[in-house]
């Protein structure tokens, strides 16, 4: 592992630790320290979900140059990424049917996105730059441009379908499948993640330039996502801890750090015949630790916050050991 990536990991843990200290000392707490609907961790998560992340997603989609994207490489990496997300979701849904009442409605989607969503920015960009140079970084950035858009949108659709189905089961929205699908579609589109993506894509397809002032505002808001999410991880650790969540968190970390990159390697190399630099970039992208957007997603649906927080921290710590492992595998394959 290069010194650049190592120091980036150190910086991440320092910012997370700052958030943990702030949470433990209750500097942001106005309610006596009890986690509630208005606790600081949830307030920060809502700020990220309703203000900063939408700004980042709209600006990203409005500025993507689709003509220059390496579509063959993108397909080779997103097929296994989406496959992993759906597979974990399906297994968790099956478990929820076998153990009714033992799992929150949103839990399958939360665990699914945790198993597939990587830290492609804070860790991924310096890693790609250090290991693969400008050419590899360009491939990585192309993946980043679609990473959150695809995985967050798909996860949102899945969780909203589950929520609508649960409401249907309680007789809240009628008795027909059409009502469930209509509710799912409405809640998926009118959503702080999906709606800015759709608006940004429409803006892009119309060929409209972003006014300089608007672009500056969106860029300023988007830059707050990374530090806010890292502080949120620390706050969540302080407020929710990891008690009772460690086992599931380790399992999610194994899925993200070992199973997903193995799947991407197999599909991209032997399925899509990807080799060389492109293969190395996509495998190492898949091998990244769990990204903080998974925690924001969990906070949004008030499900498995402690587990997702612990998984994010565990996977980031373990990445120090698993990254060299995958680099060795790539040398063997290549």
pLDDT, tens digit (0-9, with 9 covering 90-100), for 183-208: 667 766 777 878 898 899 999 999 99
User: Which tokens go with 268?
Assistant: 């991209």
- Reported as a pLDDT band with limits 50, 70 and 90, residue 283 is very high
What average pLDDT score do residues 83-89 get?
Answer: 97
Angstrom CA distances, 256 to 8, 165, 316, stand at: 20, 28, 10
**Integer Cα distance of 244 and 246 in angstroms:** 6
**Integer Cα distance of 234 and 129 in angstroms:** 27
Q: Give the domains, in start order, of the chain with CATH numbers.
A: 3-333 (1.20.1530)
Q: What is the pLDDT of residue 37?
A: 47
Residue-wise pLDDT for 100-112, tens only, equals 555 689 999 999 9
Quote the percentage of the chain above a pLDDT of 70.
89
Asked if the model's pLDDT at residue 35 lies above 50, the reply is no
Q: What is the pLDDT of residue 259?
A: 98
Per DSSP, the residues of 55-121 read: HHHHHHHHH--GGGS-HHHHHHHHHHHHHHHHHHHHHHHHHHHHSTTSS-TTHHHHHHHHHH-B-TT
Q: Could you tell me if 126 and 5 are in contact, meaning their C-beta atoms sit under 8 angstroms apart?
A: yes
Asked if the model's pLDDT at residue 15 lies above 50, the reply is yes
Asked if the model's pLDDT at residue 163 lies above 90, the reply is no
User: Which tokens go with 251?
Assistant: 């399992």
């Amino acid at each position: 592992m290069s010194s650049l990536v190592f120091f980036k990991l150190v910086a991440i843990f320092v910012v997370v630790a700052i958030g943990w200290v702030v949470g433990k000392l209750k500097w942001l707490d106005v309610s006596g320290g009890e986690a509630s609907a208005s606790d600081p961790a949830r307030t920060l998560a809502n700020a990220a979900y309703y203000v900063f992340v939408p700004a980042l997603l709209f600006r990203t989609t409005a500025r993507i140059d689709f003509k220059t994207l390496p579509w063959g490489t993108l397909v080779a990496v997103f097929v296994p990424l989406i496959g992993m997300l759906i597979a974990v979701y399906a297994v968790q849904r099956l478990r929820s049917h076998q153990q009714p009442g033992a799992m929150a409605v949103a839990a399958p989607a939360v665990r699914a996105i945790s198993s597939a969503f990587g830290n492609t920015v804070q860790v991924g960009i310096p890693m790609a730059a250090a290991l693969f140079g400008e050419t590899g970084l360009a491939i990585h950035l192309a993946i980043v441009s679609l990473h959150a858009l695809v995985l967050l949108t798909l996860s949102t659709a899945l969780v909203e379908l589950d929520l609508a189905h649960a409401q249907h089961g309680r007789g809240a929205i009628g008795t027909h499948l059409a009502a469930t699908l209509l509710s799912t579609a409405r809640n998926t589109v009118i959503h702080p993640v999906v709606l800015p993506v759709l608006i940004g894509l429409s803006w892009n397809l119309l060929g409209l330039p972003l006014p300089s002032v608007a672009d500056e505002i969106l860029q300023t808001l988007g830059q707050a996502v990374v530090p806010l999410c890292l502080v949120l991880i620390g706050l969540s650790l302080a407020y929710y801890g990891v008690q009772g969540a460690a086992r599931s968190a380790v399992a999610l970390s194994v899925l993200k750090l070992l199973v997903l990159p193995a799947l991407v390697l197999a599909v991209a190399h032997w399925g899509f015949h990807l080799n060389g630099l492109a293969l190395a970039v996509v495998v190492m992208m898949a091998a990244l630790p769990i990204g903080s957007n998974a925690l924001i997603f969990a906070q949004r649906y008030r499900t498995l916050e402690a587990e997702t927080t612990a998984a994010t921290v565990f996977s980031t710590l373990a990445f120090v050991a698993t990254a060299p492992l995958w680099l060795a595998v790539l040398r063997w394959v290549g």
